[in-house]
Amino acid sequence: MSCKDCVNRRDFLAKTALAAAALVVVDGCGDGQIGPTAAKLSSGVTIHLTDFPQLANVGTLVGITPDRALVRTSTTTFVGFSRICTHQGCITDIRNNEFECPCHGSIFANDGSVIRGPNIESPPISPLDKLTATFNAATGTVTVA
């Protein structure tokens, strides 16, 4: 019996292995969206103000962990923010005293409000999450929830 368009065992196994490798690569790309899988906020953190001299200035946005930022609002008060973009959960960068999402270009002010939404078609996004920040003047520390 002759088979003009048949695939031999070696070609079949080679093509199957290639397809399996392609599936592994595609699966590793995340949830099917452009950009990384949505980040999750880690547990709270306590920082020493001496480790972040920029926080001596009122109104300056400072990244204190990969997923948290802090702004001094007066000599004794601070506001914490999640750095997780509310569009698709990417970790924002801090540039020019603003939060900038590297995934789709959203920009948030240093008070967490939306300046510009994503550069792709999307429903409106919400401001960044505010986090409780507690200042301890005796120890010179701030705890961000």
- Give residue-wise pLDDT tens across range 31-64: 444 545 677 777 789 999 999 999 999 999 999 9
Confidence at residue 25, expressed as pLDDT on a 0 to 100 scale: 54
Confidence at residue 30, expressed as pLDDT on a 0 to 100 scale: 44
pLDDT tens-place string over residues 57-100: 999 999 999 999 999 999 999 999 999 999 999 999 999 999 99
Query: Per-residue pLDDT for 8 more than 80?
Result: no
How far is the CA of 37 from the CAs of 32, 33, 84, in angstroms?
9, 8, 11
* All structural domains of the chain: 45-144 (2.102.10.10)
The beta-carbon contacts of 131-137 under 8 Å, at least 24 apart in sequence, are 131/68, 131/79, 131/80, 131/81, 131/82, 132/80, 133/70, 133/77, 133/78, 133/79, 133/80, 135/76, 135/77, 135/78, 137/76
